[in-house]
Structure 1
Amino acid sequence: MTSLADAELMQALPYARRYARALAGSQQAGDAMVADALRAGLPDLPGRLALYAGVTRLAATDAPGNLSAMERQLLLLTSLEELDVAQAAQVVGLDEAAAQRQLDHARTALRQATATDVLIIEDEPVIAMDLRMLVQRCGHRVSGVAASEAEAVRLANERPTGLILADVNLGRGGDGINAVRRIMASVKVPVIFVTAYPERLLTAEEVEPAFIMSKPFDPLTLAISTYQAVTAGQLPIE
């Protein structure tokens, strides 16, 4: 049992929710995992690592796709949550060398993952171009790039879409979450939301996204986020 101060736990909660939601594939299941981890008692680890470890203990041990459950956990911890290998190893209960071997295998498997058609919703042209290149480097196809709610809904209904990558703030073009809600009325696909302020979408105070990626992002973070969303994802918002 850890003796983490309440203030330290509160600071770590949004990041534990992001990790748990990405593992579980939905907001409801992920937030329940965090609550269960707190009730069960956390292991004796520093700060955020204790919460991550508590969630990991409750995670499913099987996983769809060509990555094992532990490989997914390590990838999410080192890419989405930005832990180093030594910290991630502590969370999952491996020594550092074993964790590194699993990560190396997982990264190779990611490059062999099934490609899908990605709709990008982003109003900033430079960021949209960067996302397009990153998505293609991950082996996916870009089905379209939308700069507004209306354009996003039109493209989602006109073109094959296996995944949506959506900015939350579309400026004058509207709101990314509203765009996804409208799309979900007719097209059911996993979604990753991109935001510079992920903690604002991780309060558990209302219906929120299951998959959230922080800006700025790198190719590996995008690769594991898209893989996890496609293979473990459920509906992102209700």
Structure 2
Amino acid sequence: MSLGSQIAANLPFLRRYARALTGSQASGDAFVREMLEAVLADEALMASLAGGRVPLYRAFSKVWASASGPEATGTAASEHEAGAQARLGVITPPARQALLLTTLEDFTTAEAAAILDRSPQDVAEMVAQAIADIEREQTTSVLIIEDEPLIAMQLEDLVIGLGHTVSGTAATRTQARTAVGEAMPGLVLADIQLADGSSGLDAVDDILSVGSMPVIFITAYPERLLTGDRPEPTYLVTKPFQEATVRAAISQALFFGSTRPLG
């Protein structure tokens, strides 16, 4: 596989990571563009990316470390993004990176250490720090939109184990509308393909038309949402998932309070 093909194959997931790190699709994509521009301008840096995902994320990490937020990219921050950036001081950037790299992106501790230019022990300590900081966030109620009963039960147990409550569960778009009518959630976990052939994307659009809350999509087909052709979810977990990945996504979503409509 050519170097260009390697980068292209990993780029959707790097963009996912950048969005989760910054709390904004626009800001995350701006950082990714800045990294790609730096790569194109530096042949040595371009050659270093031949090693796969680790050097690609390492290059991105250097760009992220050299900037402080959307302002540094020339992208104007919305009121929502500014609020998210104001909360970044609660968790140090390296600790957030360590948490996301080892959960959302499924790197090993050693790989994350190479990306961040830290020791594996440092990374383990940063992950523990990030989890402790995020767990101090206020608890909320969660709506679970999932048509597979065993997965829905697993998510319920996970949510309750984190100290949150489950406002309702739904297996179809219609059930999701009914659940929101009975109790407005503070967070939504949504599958994309639902039991009756309806769309979790449409169900989420329905919910966001009447309320504002962060949304985490959980799907076996993440590439369908990472095309760059339409607004994309900030928080996207791939099935089959690790519970630690969902925990990290929930913590990050509540930390940023991010809503990402898809209409």
The aligned counterpart of 2:55 is 50
Greater than 6 Å deviation, 4+ residue runs: none
Instruction: Sort the Cα spacing of 1:55 and 1:233 in 2 relative to 1 into closer, same or farther, 3 A.
Output: farther
Alignment-derived partner of residue 254 in structure 2: 230
Q: Encode CA deviations 1:54-95: one digit per residue, 9 max, x unaligned.
A: 333344477627432221111110011110111111212212
Change (3 A) 1:141 1:58: farther
Residue in 2 that maps onto 1:37: 35
| CA deviations over 1:97-129 (Å, ceiling 9, x no partner) | 211221222233344432111110111111111
SS in structure 2 at match of 1:51:
helix
Count of matched residue positions in the alignment of Structure 1 and Structure 2? 235
CA–CA separation in structure 2 for the residues paired with 1:63 and 1:95: 29
Q: TM-score, normalised by structure 2?
A: 0.82
CA distance in 2, matches of 1:110, 1:209: 21
Kindly indicate whether the alpha-carbon contact (under 8 Å) linking 1:74 and 1:88 is maintained by their aligned counterparts in 2. Answer: yes
- Structure possessing the higher radius of gyration over alpha carbons: 2
Q: Which amino acid aligns with 2:97?
A: Q
TM-score by length of 1: 0.89
Asked if the contact 2:135–2:251 (Cα under 8 Å) also holds between the matched residues in 1, the reply is no
Q: Residue 93 in 1 paired to residue 117 in 2?
A: yes
Task: Note the alpha carbon deviations across 1:182-219, whole angstroms, 9 max, x for none.
Answer: 11111011100000121221121222211100112222
186, 193, 202: which is aligned to 1:162? 186
Q: In structure 1, how many angstroms separate the alpha carbons of the residues matched to 2:28 and 2:141?
A: 26
**Which AA in structure 2 matches 1:64?**
R
User: Cα distance, 1:156 vs. partner?
Assistant: 2.0
Unaligned runs of 5+ in 2: 40-44, 70-84
Q: Which residue of 2 aligns with 1:10?
A: 8
**Deviation string for 1:10-42 (max 9, x for gaps)?**
111121011111112232322222122111225
What SS does the corresponding residue of 1:216 show, helix, strand or coil? coil
The match for 2:87 is: 64
Structure 2 CA distance for aligned equivalents of residues 217 and 137 of structure 1: 17
User: Does 52-61 or 183-192 show the bigger shift?
Assistant: 52-61
- One of 19, 22, 25 as aligned partner of 1:21: 19
Percent of residue pairs bearing the same amino acid type: 40
What secondary structure sits across from 1:172 in the alignment?
coil
Report whether the alignment pairs 1:129 with 2:127: no
Q: 1:222 to 1:63 in 2, by over 3 A?
A: farther
**Partner of 2:74 in structure 1?**
none
Amino acid paired to 1:200:
R
5+ residue gaps, structure 1: none
Q: 1:168 touches 1:176 (CA, 8 Å); kept in 2?
A: yes
Give the superposition deviation at 1:6: 0.4
| Residue identity matched to 1:179 | A
Per chain length, whose mean CA-contact separation is higher, i.e. which structure has more relative contact order (CA < 8 Å, sep 6+)? 1
